[in-house]
Amino acid sequence: MLKIVRNMGQLPFSDLMRVYAEENLALGRRRWPREPQPRQLALAEEDFREYLETVFFRQEGALYALWLREDRCVSALRLEPYRDGLLLEALATAPGERRKGYAGALIRAVQEMLLSQGPVRLYAHVAKHNTPSLRTHSACGFQKIQDSAVYIDGSADSRSVTLLFEYPKNISNFGK
């Protein structure tokens, strides 16, 4: 089931941190290599919370989309204004819940929500080596439009691609 969150007060943060546990551990190892692993994780989660509170949720139109199963978050993504549309980012599924279709269900539910509001341009940046995510985005009607990614902060990454779902243009691929 889709849950839309527009502020920190609505966000089940500890549940969300289970979804991003692997990413946060990797970040903690990179940024605080001398700290013990539990501290690395705590610091990464603290940084995540601060980013959401001070940057992400302060943007007009920014939201978190969560896919809930039995009232627990199993998959999540962020949407924020980007170029002439929205950027879908930070798509993740909890490690024990992968390969069950939750990420695709979440993307499709978000697309349907946005489609009910009219024309949509939805961008995503996906690492070129992330085959499961590339397949999921493709199944949700995204098409590659650029062989690199340019992020909101202006930084570029040649290890990622830019994908676009555009309604009504891509509607024939939607949901396949």
Are 88 and 122 spatial neighbours (Cβ–Cβ below 8 Å)? yes
| Structural domain total, the chain | 1
List 107's β-bridge partners, or say none. none
> Whole-angstrom Cα distance, residue 80 to residue 88?
7
Cβ proximity of 11 and 52 under 8 Å? yes
Token pair 């929500």 is found at 113
CATH value at residue 47? 3.40.630.30
Domain range enclosing 121: 2-173
pLDDT in tens, the chain (176 residues): 999 999 999 999 999 999 999 999 999 999 999 999 999 999 999 999 999 999 999 999 999 999 999 999 999 999 999 989 999 999 999 999 999 999 999 999 999 999 999 899 999 999 999 999 999 999 999 999 999 999 888 899 999 999 999 987 654 444 44
137 token code pair:
């985005």
Taking the C-alpha atoms of residue 160 and residue 149, their distance in angstroms, rounded to an integer, is: 6
